[in-house]
Amino acid sequence: MRKLKFHEKKLLKKVNFIEYKREGGHREALITRRYHLIERDDYKKYSSICRMIQKLVNVLKQMDPRDPYRIEMTDMLLEKLRRLSSVLVNLKFAEHLKEAVTYIEQGHVRVGPDTITDPAFLVTRNMEDFVTWVDSSKIKRKVMEYNETLDDYDAMT
């Protein structure tokens, strides 16, 4: 590559190649990295959900604290969704989000009877009780060995 001339260097100083106006900063990249989001659509979906929740919370804040409608809506809002990978970290199935995402992608986690392989799967508070390891998971086997709850039948398989 040839050396840039003076006027070319001066023009390049005026252009910011790192941050574009329509990109909205590096927030998307930071959130994607922090929560190990795989698809860009997931970020868009979560940010729109967050915006709607923020608007709803602001409306609820302006209402009287003893209003029965406000109490009901607040309870409903608290019952809403969380990402499966975040739930795994909160339930101490995994130490970090990256580890939780790996377990989900490898098929070690199930919610109820269904094995989930999508880390972007949304779980309600009621469904959190049904998050467990898949029966054939080697991680489940190691946990059972550690807790000394592995019975003879499980040891044979």
Tell whether the model's pLDDT for residue 154 goes beyond 60: no
Nearest alpha carbon to residue 108 among 85, 142, 138, 144 = 138
Identity (one letter) of the amino acid at 9? K
- The confidence score (pLDDT) of residue 147 equals 86
Tell whether the model's pLDDT for residue 157 goes beyond 70: no
Tell whether the model's pLDDT for residue 156 goes beyond 70: no
Give the CA-trace dihedral at 111, 115, 120, 124, to 10 degrees: -10
CATH number of the structural domain 82-157: 3.10.290.10
Q: Provide the edge-to-edge strand list for the sheet that holds 114-115.
A: 114-115, 109-111, 131-133
Note the pLDDT tens digit of each residue in 30-74: 888 888 888 888 888 888 888 888 898 898 889 888 888 888 888
Question: Which residues in 82-103 are b (16+ Cβ under 10 Å) and which e?
Answer: ebbbebbbeeebbeebeebbeb
Question: Could you tell me the residue ranges of all domains in the chain?
Answer: 23-80, 82-157
